Amino acid sequence: MTERASGPMRWIRERFNIDPLIEFASHKQVPEWRGSFWYYFGGVSLFLFIVQVVSGILLLMYYQPGEKTAYESVRFIVTKVRFGWLVRSIHSWAANLFILSAFIHMFSVFFTKAFRRPRELTWYSGFLLLALGLGFGFSGYLLPWNTLAYFATKVGTTIVAVLPGVGEPIMELLRAGKDVSTATLTRFYGLHVAILPAAFTLILGLHLMLIQTQGMHEPEPWPGGKPRYMPFFPNFVLRDLLLWLIVLNILAILAVWFPWELGSKADPFGAAPQGIKPEWYFLFTYQALKYFPAKLAGIDGEVVGIVLFGIAGLLWFLVPLWDARTPRGIRNRFINYVGITVVLFIIVMTALGVR
């Protein structure tokens, strides 16, 4: 094979030994079973992240943070710049689809128990990626500086402040001051376009490297008792690409037919409008908090709620540690019940919140 190569291939080979990579790709296999479908959501999330990077960079060409410029520059993008509305709409839609796809990916990993040894690090890094994704959503939401975003940010950051002791300092760190102001906008901007992308890229690199070196998780036990595989290249990759194309089409349809609204400019000295709601992916937390009574055993109900959510999140993150295998080593129904409860909880609370 090395002999035959000439031209650019040889040029590269003389400088960088790519044979191990090719070797690796040609032997890589993907387990083929009824759960294989779910493998694709990791790839879809990756694709949507790439879309976000590209569309985000395009938006950067015109966006200007600042009290007098943030809203105006976004309006300029969506009304004056050629295809600006499309780029902005894609950025907003892809952000939401990314979160959705990452959630599906996470739950499929959870239910197929793919987080188990030796893939704990993949789970941990994936969880962090989702958390960073939510951070992207929260910080990006404020950037157009419209009324809804302004008050949603105010409420969202105040919720953090109810935590005794650490809450206030964290809130002030996020807001860059005591109030949600232009300083907050600048800080969120920095987070959104520099800090979060840097952290995300690093962890994503680790996540992908782990997946590539460990290979995809195989079902335990194999349905029918016999393992079946599909070559990663080209079979799996082509399917992946086809799905990316489909997702791109869905994205285009959504962005064109349901362009993202800009709303009215935020007025820090105006009354809050009706219908302040967080983005849908925060809705279930937000809705659940409403059901906590004002006082629980002498403590603010909201504090109890937030602490409980914190603990639940931590347990979820640490699932590889407490997921005890059954004596037979494989099935653990308890984990499934936990997962189903969580999914139902999220769906019901989100539905109640949308109403």
Phi and psi torsions of 298, nearest 5°: 80, -5
The total of other beta-carbon atoms located within 10 Å of residue 279's CB is 18
Structure tokens of 24? 């690796």
Structure tokens of 290? 């409403």
- Selected from 51, 102, 159, 319, the binder of another protein by CB under 8 A is 159
Structure tokens of 307? 């602490």
Nearest to another protein of 127, 151 (CB atom): 151
- Minimum CB–partner distance for residue 252 and another protein (Å): 35
- Selected from 183, 199, 338, 352, the binder of another protein by CB under 8 A is 183
173 near another protein, rule: CB under 8 A: yes
178 near another protein, rule: CB under 8 A: yes
Q: How far apart are CA 304 and CA 297, in angstroms?
A: 10
Specify the DSSP class assigned to residue 233: I
352 near another protein, rule: CB under 8 A: no
The count of C-alpha atoms lying within 13 angstroms of the C-alpha of 300, restricted to the half-sphere facing its C-beta, is 10
- Minimum CB–partner distance for residue 185 and another protein (Å): 13
176 near another protein, rule: CB under 8 A: yes
C-alpha pair distances (Å), 176 with each of 34, 156, 184, 188, 266: 49, 14, 5, 9, 18
Secondary structure element (H or E) that encloses residue 295, with its range: strand 295-296
Taking a C-beta distance cutoff of 8 angstroms, is the pair 175, 160 a contact? no
- Minimum CB–partner distance for residue 82 and another protein (Å): 37
Tokens 């603990």 found at: 311
- Minimum CB–partner distance for residue 299 and another protein (Å): 12
Give residues 197-216 in contact with another protein (rule: CB under 8 A): none
Pattern 305-334, another protein, x by CB under 8 A: ------------------------------
Pattern 35-64, another protein, x by CB under 8 A: ------------------------------
Pattern 263-302, another protein, x by CB under 8 A: -----xxxxxxxxx-------------x---x-----x--
136 near another protein, rule: CB under 8 A: no
Nearest to another protein of 237, 307 (CB atom): 307
Nearest to another protein of 44, 174 (CB atom): 174
104 near another protein, rule: CB under 8 A: no
The total of other beta-carbon atoms located within 10 Å of residue 174's CB is 20
Taking a C-beta distance cutoff of 8 angstroms, is the pair 71, 266 a contact? yes
223 near another protein, rule: CB under 8 A: no
Please choose, from the candidates 114, 112, 130, the residue with its C-alpha nearest in 3D space to the C-alpha of residue 122. Answer: 114
Give residues 330-349 in contact with another protein (rule: CB under 8 A): none
Tokens 């997946």 found at: 211
Please choose, from the candidates 136, 149, 108, 128, the residue with its C-alpha nearest in 3D space to the C-alpha of residue 51. Answer: 136
Q: How far apart are CA 169 and CA 171, in angstroms?
A: 5
Structure tokens of 149? 């975003």
177 near another protein, rule: CB under 8 A: yes
Q: Can you give the binding site for another protein, defined by CB under 8 A?
A: 151, 154-155, 158-159, 172-173, 176-179, 183, 268-276, 290, 294, 300
